[in-house]
Structure formats: C-alpha cells, structure tokens
Amino acid sequence: MTDLTDQSVASAHDTRRRIFAIVGASSGNLVEWFDFYVYSFTALYFAPAFFPSGNTTTQLLNTAGVFAAGFLMRPIGGWFFGRLADKHGRRTAMMISVFMMCGGSLVIAMLPTYAQIGALAPALLLVARLFQGLSVGGEYGTSATYMSEVALKGRRGFFASFQYVTLIGGQLCALLVIVILQQALSPAEIKAWGWRVPFVIGAIAALIALYLRKSLDETTSAATRQRKEAGTLRGLWMHKGAFMTVLGFTAGGSLIFYTFTTYMQKYLVNTAGMQTKTASSVMTAALFVYMLMQPLFGALSDRIGRRRSMLLFGLFATIGTVPLLHALKDVTSPYAAFGFVVLALAIVSFYTSISGLIKAEMFPPEVRALGVGLSYAVANAIFGGSAEYVALWLKSVGVETMFFWYVTLMCAIAGIVALRMRDPSTQGYLRHEP
C-alpha cells in the first residue's frame, strides 16, 4: 500500500513538474512572438522617424524591408540555436533566445531617430531586427523540441499544442496593446513616443520569461549532448528522409497559416472591400477562437494519431482553400467573414496544433532541435514569409485566383507527404522516451 501511495505522489509531482515546464517554455514563446508582431503593428507610427522620405508608401516599404530581413534570418537562427540546443541543452538555448529578443526590443525602444543621428538610426533598427529574427528562428525549434520532450506521454499532442496557443496569443497581445495605446493616446503622441511603449513591455516580459526558463529542467542527457554527431549537419544528414518530409508538409502548412492569419486582414480590405476597422475586429475574434482550438486538435491527434491528423489537414485544405477564398472574396457580412475564416483556421489547426510535435517525433535527441528548427525555418522563410508578397503580386497582375490554386497545390503536396510517411506518434523516436 505504501509503495502504491509513494508511486502516486511521485506521479503527481512529475505531472506538476511537466506542466510547469510547459508554462515556462511557452511563456518565452509568447513573448518572442509578441515582440516580433509589435514591430509590424507599430510600423505605421514609427516609419517617419527612421525613413523620413516624405512618402508614406516608401516609408512603409522600408520598414517592411527591415521586417523581411528579420524573416530571412530565421534559417540561420534555426541552425544556430538547433546546434546549441543539441550540444549544450534545450534550457540554455531557450534562455539565450529570449534574452536576445529582450535585447532587440530594448534597443528599438531606446533608438534615436533619423533626425537625431541620421542614417545610423535605420541601420541600428535593421541590426536590432536581425537579432530578433535570429531569436525567433531559434525559438520555434528549441521550444517545440523541449515542449514535445517534456509533455506527458499519451497526451503529447494536447500539451505540445500550447506552442501555437502562445504563438497566436503573442500576436493577440501585441494587437491588444496597440488598441489600448490608440484609445489612451492621440495619433500625434503615438507617433512621437507612444510607439516605443510596446517594445518596453516586450523587453520586461522577456525578462520574466527568462526567469521562468532559468528554473526549467533539462530534457537531454550529458551522454546525448556529447555524441559526435550532436547538433551537426552531418548528423542531421543521416536523417535526410525525415528532414525532407518535414520540409514537404511545412511548406504547405506555413503557406496556408500565413494566408488565413497575417494576410487575411489585407485580403478582406483590398479584395472583399471591407472597412479596415471591421476587418481588424473580424480577424481578432477569429484568431482568438483559433487559439482556443489548438488544444482540442492536439488532443484529437493523441486519439487518432499524428499521421491521420496530417492527412485530414491535407485533404480538407486541398478541397476547401479555393471555395473558402472565393467565398471571402465576395463576402459582405462581417459575421459570414468570421465564419469562413474560423472554418479555414479549423482546417489549419489539424497541422498547427501538432506542428512542432510531429517534427520532434521524427528526429533522435542528438539532432532533434536542429532538425526541427532548421527544416521549419527554411520552409517557413521560403513559403510562409513570401505568402503575402506572392498574393499581392498576383493580384497586381490581374490573376489573384492563381494564388488560391498555389496554396491548394502546396497543401496537396503536404497531404501526399503525410500519406507516404509512417505515423510518428506510434513509430517515431519520442515513443520510447518517458
């Protein structure tokens, strides 16, 4: 009887420890994405301070160029932090990642303007943004790997889904801070100094996340970290099949994710003719529902398997993308728009809820963070990062519907890749780990 009681107490303690680890890891993820999206949301206000061309479009293009540069740093971040996590531990990599994001936000918050230091101002803005892009590129792989390893066996889909809960949560928090500033300050005050406030908030939040991550348990052993192939591209090449598989379904997954999240607000305004404030309200509500859906779809993957979840994603995304985008193109009611977007995001949830976990299950621990981070960053930078540009370019040349079929094709490829792969939840590397 005593043994059973002790075992029960130990099991309860282990469960609490793992839940705390998920909270600590996901808190940093939320902060990272809050800081990354704050730049996009405040660009309209600070663009004249760093790019005083007198032309609003030119100013926004310059700030967008800096944003894109941060995006292109992600593969480097995926490689650097993946190697660091596999050779020196997940906890170390996650702490450095969130510390870098804190530094980048603090620099932007305190940065002198063009009027004060001339061309050095936009140059320093670019450097700070590159640091943030490097940090975000490393954050995905390390946090996804850590959360997958620390999650309770048999419920990994549910617990690992909180990575996208906090990713979307970071975006919503950034939007909420901007809305509060717009209510509390005049447009002139926001342009003068108010735009700096979200970056200060992000830097402070990053320090809190750093404190939480400092107390996390490490999930890799010293023996694993000391292996010759740990964190190396040569070691990763031994699992090139898994790497190519991840590239295959991440390309479609990232593309459709950015289509129905970051690009969708512009689509509702530019194509459907919806008022900007109405489109913002629709997308805020839809993203909130999308965030709540992640644990449900993650738990579903624990019941039906990761491969089956991916097959459902590939199937529904292939047959649903064109009709949904056509319906949204002609939508007049904001309630109908909300319903269509939520339906699209439910389809995307089959992928995003297990995005990090399914990748982690396909690599052994000595190259897991590198495999997850680099494969995601490459596919995300090429297909996710270009989604908005491709959509707008095709619209500008009068063939906007080609973008619908482009997304459909990439999702069909993701479905084919899922059809050909083994189920990682039953045959992957994590199945043997506690």
For residue 156, tell me if it sits in a domain.
yes
Q: What is the pLDDT of residues 272-290, one digit of tens each?
A: 888 878 888 898 899 999 9
* C-alpha distance from residue 431 to each of 98, 325, 358, 362 (Å): 29, 39, 12, 10
How many percent of the chain have pLDDT more than 70? 92
The yes-or-no verdict on residue 360 having pLDDT over 80 is yes
Question: Distance from first CA to last CA of the chain, Å, rounded?
Answer: 24
For residue 327, tell me if it sits in a domain.
yes
pLDDT of the residue at 238: 92
If pLDDT is split at 50, 70 and 90, which confidence band does 39 have? confident
- Higher pLDDT: 47 or 411? It is 411
Q: Are 108 and 125 in contact (CB under 8 A)?
A: yes
pLDDT of the residue at 245: 93
If pLDDT is split at 50, 70 and 90, which confidence band does 2 have? very low
335-339: long-range pairs with CB below 8 Å, 24+:
337/268, 337/272, 337/274, 337/279, 337/282, 338/282, 338/285, 338/286
* C-alpha distance from residue 227 to each of 82, 87, 90 (Å): 15, 8, 15
pLDDT of the residue at 403: 93
Of the listed ranges 113-127, 165-179, 241-255, the one predicted with least confidence: 113-127
Compute how many other C-beta atoms are within 10 angstroms of the C-beta atom of residue 57: 8
pLDDT of the residue at 30: 86
pTM: 0.86
If pLDDT is split at 50, 70 and 90, which confidence band does 56 have? low
pLDDT of the residue at 394: 86
Q: State how far the Cα of 191 lies from the Cα of 180, in Å rounded to an integer.
A: 15
Nearest to 364 by CA among 207, 148, 195: 148
If pLDDT is split at 50, 70 and 90, which confidence band does 263 have? confident
If pLDDT is split at 50, 70 and 90, which confidence band does 341 have? very high
Indicate the average pLDDT of the chain: 86
Q: What is the pLDDT of residues 102-158, one digit of tens each?
A: 888 899 899 998 888 887 888 888 888 888 888 888 888 888 899 888 888 888 999
For residue 287, tell me if it sits in a domain.
yes
How many distinct structural domains can be found in the chain? 1
Determine the average pLDDT of the residues in 361-367. 91
Give the CATH number of the domain where residue 87 resides. 1.20.1250.20
For residue 136, tell me if it sits in a domain.
yes
pLDDT of the residue at 11: 73
- Amino acid 81 reads F
Domain housing 360? 12-432
Nearest to 22 by CA among 142, 160, 158, 132: 160
Q: At what angle do helices 368-379 and 74-88 cross, to 10 degrees?
A: 170
For residue 4, tell me if it sits in a domain.
no
Compute how many other C-beta atoms are within 10 angstroms of the C-beta atom of residue 120: 12
pLDDT of the residue at 290: 96
Q: What is the pLDDT of residues 417-432, one digit of tens each?
A: 999 998 887 877 786 6
pLDDT of the residue at 7: 40
For residue 206, tell me if it sits in a domain.
yes
b/e for 188-224, b at 16 or more Cβ within 10 A? eebbeebbbbbbebbbebbeebbebbeebeebbeeeb
The yes-or-no verdict on residue 55 having pLDDT over 80 is no
Q: What is the pLDDT of residues 210-243, one digit of tens each?
A: 888 888 888 888 888 888 888 899 999 999 999 9
For residue 76, tell me if it sits in a domain.
yes
pLDDT of the residue at 216: 83
For residue 6, tell me if it sits in a domain.
no
